[in-house]
């Protein structure tokens, strides 16, 4: 379901007006003009829904794409003798602040400083629960579990996980390349279908009207 925003309403109205004008230029009947306007609204809504779905998928995949580098940095810092939480925060500072993974991890530390979370472990538990990402949940669970156990092999654990996610990143990159080709054809196909319907509508209506 797409959230109705003022920007979306403007787009829907613009699409309806555009299709209505096109039908007027083609000197179609009022029924066809109204149908064309409705079709324009449907097309824009479907494209918006598709864009929202792609955005959610992008966010989910971005965790898998960024985790290899993040875990590598954490492994390097812990290997150098830096504490796990300090290593995680430093690794988050290195990454792109606009990427969901780094933004979420820095947000977790910020919530502790502001008093929104009791401690950093609670902040990571909340982060794991609030994001629908298996990769992020696995990261949070791994950190919390090993901190509680007092594991001394955190560096090797993160290094091995970094390699696993690096393989996953290659698989996702290949899948995204295949999907990109398909996605490029969707808007053009919808517009083409709309124009075909608009051109054939008078003939169809006349045929059924004469029956």
3-class SS of residue 82: coil
If one counts every other C-beta atom within 10 angstroms of the C-beta of residue 29, the result is 13
What does the alpha-carbon distance between residue 60 and residue 127 come to, in Å, rounded to a whole number? 14
Query: Which stretches of the chain drop beneath a pLDDT of 50?
Result: 208, 210-211
What does the alpha-carbon distance between residue 97 and residue 91 come to, in Å, rounded to a whole number? 11
What does the alpha-carbon distance between residue 92 and residue 73 come to, in Å, rounded to a whole number? 9
pTM of the model: 0.59
**Residue 46 to residues 43, 90, 183: CA-CA distances in angstroms?**
5, 42, 13
User: Which of 114, 117, 122, 66 is CA-nearest to residue 92?
Assistant: 66
- For residue 96, give both structure tokens: 């792109």
CA 189 from chain centre, in angstroms, equals: 23
pLDDT for 106 equals 92
Q: What is the pLDDT of residues 61-108, one digit of tens each?
A: 778 888 888 888 988 898 888 888 999 999 999 888 888 889 999 999
Given a contact cutoff of 8 angstroms between Cβ atoms, the answer to whether 86 and 120 are in contact is no
If one counts every other C-beta atom within 10 angstroms of the C-beta of residue 185, the result is 10
Phi, psi of 10 (to 5 degrees): -60, -45
pLDDT for 110 equals 92
What does the alpha-carbon distance between residue 114 and residue 54 come to, in Å, rounded to a whole number? 33
What does the alpha-carbon distance between residue 30 and residue 20 come to, in Å, rounded to a whole number? 9
Q: At what angle do helices 154-209 and 6-25 cross, to 10 degrees?
A: 30
What does the alpha-carbon distance between residue 203 and residue 15 come to, in Å, rounded to a whole number? 24
Contacts of residue 191, Cβ cutoff 8 Å, sequence gap at least 6: 43
If one counts every other C-beta atom within 10 angstroms of the C-beta of residue 136, the result is 23
pLDDT for 152 equals 64
Domain ranges of the chain: 6-209
């Amino acid at each position: 379901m797409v959230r109705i925003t003022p920007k979306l309403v403007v787009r829907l109205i613009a699409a309806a007006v555009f299709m209505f004008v096109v039908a007027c230029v083609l000197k179609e009947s009022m029924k066809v003009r109204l149908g064309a306007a409705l079709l324009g609204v449907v097309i824009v809504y479907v494209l918006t829904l598709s864009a929202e779905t792609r955005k959610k998928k992008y966010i989910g995949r971005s965790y898998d794409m960024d985790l290899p580098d993040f875990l590598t940095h954490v492994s390097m810092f812990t290997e150098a003798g830096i504490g796990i939480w300090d290593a995680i925060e430093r690794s988050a500072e290195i990454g792109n602040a606009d990427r969901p993974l780094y933004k979420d991890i820095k947000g977790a530390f910020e919530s502790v400083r502001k008093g929104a979370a009791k401690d950093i472990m609670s902040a990571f538990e909340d982060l794991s629960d609030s994001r629908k990402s298996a990769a992020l949940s696995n990261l949070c669970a791994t950190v919390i579990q090993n901190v509680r156990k007092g594991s001394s092999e955190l560096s090797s654990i993160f290094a091995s996980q970094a390699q696993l996610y690096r393989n996953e990143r290659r698989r996702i990159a290949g899948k995204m390349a295949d999907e990109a080709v398909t996605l490029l054809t969707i808007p053009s196909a919808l517009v083409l279908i709309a124009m075909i319907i608009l051109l054939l509508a008078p003939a169809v209506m006349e045929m059924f009207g004469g029956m």
